[in-house]
Structure 1
């Protein structure tokens, strides 16, 4: 499986692949759910290799560690999903 940072780089820099409409699903611990947001609401801060910033519907920015990104969709189709932890089935 491709690491999420490598996939995000490919979306950003590979014109043949990155032209599509992308969204990500990330684990929101407050909502206890996977929230799916359009990729244009996700900002990668130069030099930060461990997290992204996501703006919610109310305009509030949240820092989301890359390990909480669980899914990536391209034109509505699931193309990447983090495998579930076998030691901790609910994780």
Structure 2
């Protein structure tokens, strides 16, 4: 299994995947469930190589460590997952 950072970098930079739709499933510790968000809604802080940021539907900012990413979907199909 490829590391999650490698998968996220490929989504960000691989031109062959540029037109595809990606979703990321991460474990939310507060809600105690997997939350799925569109890749286009997440931000990668320039100097942080361990997490990404997102703003949820209520307008709250979250920093999500890569180790909490549990699934990656490409065009609705699961392409990467980590056992819970």
Report the TM range for the smaller structure's normalisation: over 0.9
How many residue pairs align between the two structures? 84
Match of 2:61 in 1: 61
Distance, in Å, in 2 between the alignment partners of 1:81 and 1:18 is 21
Segments of 5+ residues of structure 1 without an aligned counterpart are: 85-91
Within a 5 Å distance, the mapping from 1:38-57 to structure 2 comes to 38-57=38-57
Higher relative contact order (CA 8 A, sep 6+): 2
TM-score normalised per structure 1: 0.87
Distance, in Å, in 1 between the alignment partners of 2:83 and 2:33 is 16
Task: List 4+ stretches of structure 1 deviating above 2 A.
Answer: none
Q: 1:10, 1:18 within 8 Å by CA — same for their partners in 2? A: no
Shift of 1:18: 3.3
Segments of 5+ residues of structure 2 without an aligned counterpart are: none
